[in-house]
Amino acid sequence: NPVILWLRQDLRLHDQPALVSAAQAGPVIPVYVLDDEAPGRWRMGAAQRWWLHHALNALGEALAAKGSRLILRRGSAVRELQKLADETGASAIHAIRHYEPWWIDAEEKLGERLCLHDGNHLAPLRDVTTGSGGQFKIYSAFWRALSERMPPEKPLPVPHSLPAPDHWPSSEKLSGWDLLPTNPNWATGFAPDWTPGEAEALRKAKDFAEEVGDYPARRDMPAVEGTSRLSPHLHFGEISPRSLWHALGSGANAAKFHKELAWRDFTSSLLLAMPDYGDRNGRPAFDKLKWRKSAADLKAWQQGCTGYPIVDAGMRQLWTTGWMHNRVRMIAASFLIKHLLIDWREGERWFWDTLVDADYGNNSVNWQWVAGTGVDSNMWGRIMAPLGQSEKFDAGDYIRQWVPELRDVSDAQIHDPEDRPNGYPEKIIGHREARERALAAGRAIR
């Protein structure tokens, strides 16, 4: 009997333990199910759908080169997989384990038919626990425990070929899924920056290995390519974190990068303890915080028109390319939450829809970390000064790239131009006023 290989955020052939096990068990039917039901309000956002379209195309071609195929189905993954198993007489479903709550739920529903494999994280996260067996709430403690298990296992090679079933089940057409934007096509700025797929992910990792020694010094400078830009590839599982770890070597050069990569494991691990982290404050005291409701301010932030050049540059980079530099994500998120006093969940939703790397664990944990509402931080009173941050991390090149109105402004003026040229807006709120308002809101819930 054939076996089903259920692919989700693990769209690759290398280091694919589910694929290797499936191929040992019998003819393999690889399937991707576009499930917009199980995640509920966390169904994939628009930028991710753009990525997914191209990623599935690439994966289909890679499977074809191995004498196999990618079967596409749409609907509830549990229902579609059960249907496919009945149609084909498949004896088992092999899949890599994921930690989004809707996937854990689906995995439970599939029951004994499902064979789960670890492989999308550096270690099996149910085993990385505190002395009392619970999940870590603080990254530094998580990292200490994870490091004891590092380096991760060696990645598995790509099988030479995949045994095919005698009869292929029917597949939907990718073009029928309408994953790409049409009218208007807001994704024209994505293609120059991104090539979804495993081949590109591996190529980028190889290139980055040459530069990883510069990572500690350059990773906070948004104007340079000082980080790997592998986040969407990692989110969709086009490269496994184990192979990335090993590709970068084990020396001191890679140590800082390994530690950042482990954040991804930490956020997934936190979801095991707090599956609704994307919706609910990690610190319940914040349920009483009086957020402002201002559609106009939210829109100004989303569109990069706050009058703070570094914030606006970041928000426009996000809209144009589907990605934003980590340092600027922190500044922009802090600005929405503290300066505009708008609920972090509004920002989280916007990122969810606009990031190509939107990831339930990474997004929610980072938003709550910046807000100070999370279990891993208590930083409501630490209010990032956008102008100070801008001066520290950008010499002006990043701002000039993304805010063309300010292209001709001098270095001395670029972070906070006195004259606002070419219709660039005045500051939406003064820093001191915003800071006092945020601190007062924090005091009110104590």
Query: Residues with catalytic annotation?
Result: 260, 263, 291, 326, 344, 367
Q: For residue 3, report the phi and psi dihedrals to the nearest 5 degrees.
A: -125, 150
Listed in sequence order, the residues at least 6 apart from 58 whose beta carbon sits closer than 8 Å to its beta carbon are 11, 196, 197, 198, 199
Question: Which residue is associated with the tokens 């999370």?
Answer: 374
| Shortest distance (Å) from residue 175 CB to ligand FAD | 27
Q: Spell out the residues 6+ positions from residue 89 whose beta carbon is closer than 8 angstroms to its own.
A: 1, 2
Out of 9, 48, 227, 354, the residue judged to bind ligand FAD by CB under 6 A: 227
Please, which residue, 102 or 351, has the CB nearer to ligand FAD?
Answer: 351
248 contacts ligand FAD (rule: CB under 6 A): no
Q: Applying CB under 6 A, which of residues 38, 96, 205, 230 lies at the interface with ligand FAD?
A: 230
Window of 4-12, 89-97, 227-235, 247-255 that interacts with ligand FAD by CB under 6 A: 227-235
Distance of CA 233 to CAs 103, 110, 185, 254, 437, Å?
19, 27, 22, 19, 40
CA distance 208 to 230: 10
Stretch that binds ligand FAD, among 162-170, 224-232, 286-294, 422-430 (CB under 6 A): 224-232
If the CB atoms of residues 72 and 333 are measured against ligand FAD, the closer one turns out to be: 333
- How many residues sit in the footprint of ligand FAD (CB under 6 A)? 27
Whether the CA torsion 11, 12, 17, 19 is positive or negative: it is: positive
The 362-391 site mask, x for binding ligand FAD (CB under 6 A), equals: xx--xx--x---------------------
Question: Considering only residues 198, 220, 238, 357, which one is a binding residue for ligand FAD as defined by CB under 6 A?
Answer: 357
d(CA 269, CA 261): 13
Residue 218's Cβ-side half-sphere holds a number of Cα atoms within 13 Å equal to: 14
Rank residues 88 and 364 by Cβ distance to ligand FAD and give the closer one. 364
357 carries a ligand binding annotation: yes
Quote the tokens at residue 245: 């770890």
| Two tokens, residue 397 | 């090149």
From the list 6-14, 159-167, 359-367, 398-406, the region that binds ligand FAD by CB under 6 A is 359-367
Nearest residue (CB) to ligand FAD, 366 versus 390 = 366
The three-class DSSP label of residue 171 is: coil
In total, the chain counts a number of residues equal to 446
Work out whether 318 is an interface residue with ligand FAD (CB under 6 A): no
Binding-site sequence positions for FAD: 215, 227-231, 257, 357-359
